[in-house]
Amino acid sequence: MAVSVRDIFTYLVTRLETDPTLSGWGIEAFSLAAPEDHPCPFILMERQSGTHHYAMTGEALQKQWIFLKAVTTGEDGGKLARQIMDRVNVLLTGETPTIASGYVARIEATTDLEYVETDTGNVQFYHVGTVYQFFLGNN
């Protein structure tokens, strides 16, 4: 059975929320959106795309691109968001965890993104993120 995007998200939430550094900042991870009025900082996860490669015996390789971003507010110009994503990069880049169903992933950072969003109350939200490529194959 192939690993699902839900399996990847379950791995990510566990990995990120149990890290002492991230949990010290009070970080929680969510798929697509945080609950309304959830305080910053937090991490959002979103699947960008994916491909499946098959051999005679079935699926041989799966690649999934997952976007993770830290969202913060404040007067620090996004410094905390960058620190959070620096920590995420340390935790994930080059990892080879077993994710589900005997599948093993290699995780590589591919693309970075950073932007500021201002709401109607003039509060600035700093978004700093990275797209990670997950290479998934039979263990």
Prediction pTM value: 0.87
Instruction: Give dist(CA 87, CA 10) in Å, integer.
Output: 19
Q: Does domain 5-138 have CATH number 3.40.630.30?
A: no
Q: What mean pLDDT comes out for the span 2-24? A: 91
pLDDT tens digits for range 37-86: 899 999 999 988 776 666 666 666 778 899 999 999 988 889 999 999 99
pLDDT tens for 19-43 read 999 999 999 999 989 988 899 999 9
Question: HEC profile for the chain?
Answer: CCCCHHHHHHHHHHHHHCCHHHHHCCCCEEECCCCCCCCCCEEEEEEEEEEEEEECCEEEEEEEEEEEEEEEECCCCCHHHHHHHHHHHHHHCCCCCEEECCEEEEEEEEEEEEEEEECCCCCEEEEEEEEEEEEEEEC
